[in-house]
Structure formats: C-alpha cells, structure tokens
Amino acid sequence: MARITFPRTVGFGAGLLALVLVVYSIAGILWGLWRPEMTATAVEGGGFAVDTSSNAQFQSFGTFVLSTALIAGVISFGVFKYAKSRRGLGTLLYLGVLAVLGAFVFWLVGGYIAPTVPDMASEVGSQVSWVPTFNPSMGLAAAPFLSLLVYWSGLYLVVEDAPKDAALTGASDNVPVEVGQPLY
C-alpha cells in the first residue's frame, strides 16, 4: 500500500490555519461575552425607547477592530520570530489571508455568543438589554494590514549575521592595518 506524504510547507500552513482559527474563536467568544449592551424600556404599542447615552454599536466596532488587529500582529510577530526557515513572500501573503479569515471568524463567533434583540412582547416599563449588531466591512481590513505590516517590517529590518570583519569591528584577529588605510 502506498504511503502518502505531504511536504513540510503544507503541514506548516495547516498548523498555522488551525492556530489562527482557535485563537480568533476563543477571543471572539470572550469579546461576545464582554461587548457593551444597549438598554431600552418597553413602551406602549410593543416598541422600545432606546437609551442613547452610550453608543454600544460604535464601541463594539472599535473593540472588534483593535482586538483583531492586535491578535494578527502578535501572530505575525510570532511566525516571523519562530519560523525563520519559512520567511518570505509566500508566508507574508498567507498571513494576510489568515488575518482576514480570523477577523471574520472572530466577528461571527462574537455575534453568535452576544445576547440578541429581545422579544417585542415585554411588559410596559420593563428594562431590556442586548448587544447591537454591526457590519464589519472595512473593519476586516485592520487585521491583515497590521499582520502584513508587522511581518514585512521584520523582513525589512532584520539584520542577518555577517562574518566578522576585523578591520570594521576593531577586533584583533592579527590583521595588519597600515596607517592611513581606510577601515572599510
């Protein structure tokens, strides 16, 4: 029977996908539980008078953008630091795609966990609360932007170990230097 083997790159990509989905899902659950709620009072006629003193929808959007971008930046930094043999354009682009996917999973899981709009059949004068929904649209771009920025910055700013040049470092490796000779 033939044995199927996969290249290490496929295993690395699958592991990274699993990590992103798990981390963003757990963070989405926590975000869904801790999102700010809107409060309203039931009025006659089956409607609600919404308290407009706080903007829970805007706060939810802001925490969504900041949380997903922060997670993406941390994951990209970790991949850059610990997967030195995988550094390159392919990993950079893959991290960008995973950041979009992770942010979307974060939004879906958080929206599923958060309390939804209550029934309209509440008693007049009773207080109800729920987490408002929002469209993530442009907020989905924050995570891949920071992910790509962090990883690219690492690629751009990394200083590779170069062979020591005694003339440049001033180390004494018994290399003669004449007076008036440039050191570089």
Q: Shortest CA distance to 27 belongs to which of 78, 85, 99?
A: 99
Residue 170 in this model has a pLDDT that exceeds 90: no
Residues 103, 21: Cα–Cα separation, whole Å: 9
Q: How confident is the model at residue 166 (pLDDT cuts 50, 70, 90)?
A: very low
Structural domain range at position 22: 11-159
Higher-confidence residue: 172 or 90? Answer: 90
Residue 162 in this model has a pLDDT that exceeds 60: no
Evaluate whether residue 62 is within a structural domain.
Answer: yes
Express as a percent the part of the chain with pLDDT over 90.
49
Evaluate whether residue 134 is within a structural domain.
Answer: yes
Evaluate whether residue 146 is within a structural domain.
Answer: yes
Higher-confidence residue: 174 or 33? Answer: 33
Evaluate whether residue 44 is within a structural domain.
Answer: yes
Q: Shortest CA distance to 86 belongs to which of 6, 151, 175, 4?
A: 151
The mean pLDDT of 70-99, rounded to a whole number, is: 94
Evaluate whether residue 175 is within a structural domain.
Answer: no
Least confident of 15-19, 76-80, 179-183: 179-183
Model confidence pLDDT, tens digit, residues 99-137: 999 999 999 999 999 887 766 666 777 788 888 888 999
Model confidence pLDDT, tens digit, residues 137-155: 999 999 999 999 999 999 8
pLDDT of residue 119: 66
Higher-confidence residue: 164 or 27? Answer: 27
Identify the H or E element spanning 101: helix 89-113
Evaluate whether residue 182 is within a structural domain.
Answer: no
Q: How confident is the model at residue 25 (pLDDT cuts 50, 70, 90)?
A: very high
Evaluate whether residue 177 is within a structural domain.
Answer: no
pLDDT of residue 37: 85
Evaluate whether residue 129 is within a structural domain.
Answer: yes
Higher-confidence residue: 179 or 118? Answer: 118
Residue 163 in this model has a pLDDT that exceeds 60: no
User: Could you give the number of structural domains in the chain?
Assistant: 1
